[in-house]
Amino acid sequence: MPAIFGPGADLALRLVLYGIALGVPAVLGAGLMMPSTSYETGRDRAPVQPVPFSHQHHVGGLGLDCRYCHDSVETAASAGMPPSYTCMTCHSQIWTSAPMLAPVRASLAEHKPLHWRRVYDLPDYVFFDHSIHVAKGVGCSECHGPVDHMPLTYKATSLAMSWCLDCHRNPGPRLRPRDQVFNLNWHRTSETPAPDALMADYGIEVGKLQNCSICHR
């Protein structure tokens, strides 16, 4: 009676079983890791903007304060985006015919705002308030990275829930004196108040920071 299975059947079966044993965990692992990759979070990505605005030039080179353009960062949930006439305060005097600034000039002349593409965009179910973070001594660079060294603005942090919780569980090391919040080159020194002292001064209670309603309202 002829054999049902050929000589290579056992080897083929073993290979299939090994493939399943190794492949299923690999697929599951990739599925679990995918949401935290830069591809998914957009980290290090610089969206194409209507004007290639350089923070490196304006902030790092010319020394513009963050609040010159983001004027509601201390008083509102949104930091705000500058209207075109803010840009033209300077550019009506310098680089007046630069081709790259044509969209800004057209925006002012036509009374139509520029449509900047978001670099940081949270889901609708997440509430974030810039003003409270500024009031509690969280510097801009903690979330936005070294913007004064960015020729084009890229997303410096993932904004993943785990990333936010890391700070909410232990905010002290990330705090600074309020007068240094907008200093992108600030570094802790021996004269800087200790993290616990800053937390006490700002009235920060770690237990409340981990309440779901802080971010999900």
Pick from 141, 185, 147, 172: nearest CA to 59: 147
Q: Which residues contact 83 (CB under 8 A, 6 or more apart)?
A: 113
* Contact present, 119 and 47 (Cβ < 8 Å): yes
Q: Which residues contact 166 (CB under 8 A, 6 or more apart)?
A: none
The confidence score (pLDDT) of residue 47 equals 94
Separate counts of helices (H) and strands (E) for the chain: 11, 0
Encode the chain (217 residues) as per-residue pLDDT tens digits.
555 655 666 666 667 766 777 766 666 665 555 555 665 667 889 999 999 999 999 999 999 999 999 999 999 999 999 999 999 999 999 999 999 999 999 999 999 999 999 999 999 999 999 999 999 999 999 999 999 999 999 999 999 999 999 999 999 999 999 999 999 999 999 999 999 999 999 999 999 999 999 999 8
The confidence score (pLDDT) of residue 116 equals 94
* Contact present, 152 and 189 (Cβ < 8 Å): no
DSSP summary character for residue 194? P
Instruction: Report how far apart, in Å, the C-alpha atoms of 11 and of each of 4, 24, 45 are.
Output: 15, 20, 47
